């Protein structure tokens, strides 16, 4: 099993939102946690040998909860994803986070 922590930034219409992505990879399964907007939310999906991935999760804002599908690439050193909700698509990028921090579920 491979585990990795990334410091991430998501581009939104109202500015950049910073957080953390924690992933564990076992064969073609990807599980983990996205910490964003002061919420820790579980993620689950698939990943291939080249780092191409797809997973689902939800973003929790002050006003609502937004289910999403994320697609993109996760490598040993960086992450590049498109987060697609019902109305909007956001770009999420990041790099390795050496400090790490476990998800609180």
Model pLDDT for residues 19-62, shown as the tens digit of each residue: 999 999 999 999 999 999 899 999 999 999 999 999 999 999 88
Q: What share of the chain is helix, strand, coil (3-state, %, to 5)?
A: 0, 70, 30
At 105 the pLDDT is 41
Local confidence band at 103 (pLDDT 50, 70, 90 cut-offs): low
Local confidence band at 2 (pLDDT 50, 70, 90 cut-offs): confident
In this structure, are residues 51 and 73 in contact, taking their beta carbons and an 8 Å threshold?
yes
| Rounded Cα gap, residues 64 and 72, in angstroms | 25
- Averaged pLDDT score across all residues of the chain: 92
74-102 CB burial, b ≥16 within 10 A, e <16 = beeeebebebeeeeeebebebeeeeeeee
Antiparallel, parallel or unpaired: β 2-12 and 15-26: antiparallel
At 97 the pLDDT is 87
Residue 104 in this model has a pLDDT that exceeds 60 = no
């Amino acid at each position: 099993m491979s585990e990795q922590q990334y410091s991430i930034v998501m581009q939104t219409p109202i500015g950049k939102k910073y957080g953390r992505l924690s992933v564990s990879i076992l064969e073609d399964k990807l599980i983990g946690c996205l910490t964003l907007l002061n919420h820790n939310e579980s993620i689950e999906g698939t990943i291939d040998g080249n780092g191409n991935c797809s997973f689902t999760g939800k973003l929790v804002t002050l006003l609502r909860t937004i289910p999403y599908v994320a697609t993109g690439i996760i490598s040993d050193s960086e992450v590049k994803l498109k987060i697609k909700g019902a109305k909007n698509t956001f770009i999420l990028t990041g790099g390795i986070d050496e400090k790490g921090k476990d998800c609180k579920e």
